[in-house]
């Protein structure tokens, strides 16, 4: 019988300490919401969803649910999806906007 010597291939804590210390030393401060590159696109898309675009999306979703109901089969999703779309379009945009612009 021969005995084999097992070597450790797992990294040790010191293998991570130098890169972590360098990353902390080099890292600068990051401010959420300080960049205004996409503000025009965000404003246009938000206005679209909160205005007539959101109403059109909700009405189309409701029409799809009504067409599915008229086909003779009934499923709860045919009612729940248009309601969820309406709620999502109506209240989702302000919620997402407030979360993204929150001060942490």
Q: What is the pLDDT of residues 2-47, one digit of tens each?
A: 555 555 555 677 777 878 887 787 776 655 556 677 788 888 888 8
- pLDDT at 75 (0 to 100): 79
- pLDDT at 31 (0 to 100): 59
What does the block give as tokens for 55?
């109403």
What does the block give as tokens for 6?
């097992």
Which residues fall within 8 angstroms of residue 13, CB to CB, at 6 or more apart?
none
Measured CA to CA, the distance from residue 101 to residue 92 in angstroms comes to 14
- pLDDT at 103 (0 to 100): 54
Between the alpha carbon of residue 61 and those of residues 27, 45, 69, the distances in Å are 47, 19, 12
Between the alpha carbon of residue 78 and those of residues 58, 84, 89, the distances in Å are 13, 10, 17
Which has more confidence, 58 or 97? 58
């Amino acid at each position: 019988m021969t005995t084999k010597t097992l070597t450790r291939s797992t990294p040790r804590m010191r293998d991570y300490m130098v890169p972590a210390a360098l990353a902390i030393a080099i890292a600068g401060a990051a401010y959420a919401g300080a960049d205004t590159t996409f503000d025009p696109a965000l404003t246009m898309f938000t206005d679209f969803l909160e205005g007539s675009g959101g109403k059109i999306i909700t009405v189309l979703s409701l029409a799809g649910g009504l067409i599915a109901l008229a086909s003779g089969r009934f499923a709860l999703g045919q009612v729940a999806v248009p309601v969820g779309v309406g709620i999502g379009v109506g209240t989702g945009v302000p919620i997402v906007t407030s979360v993204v612009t929150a001060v942490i």
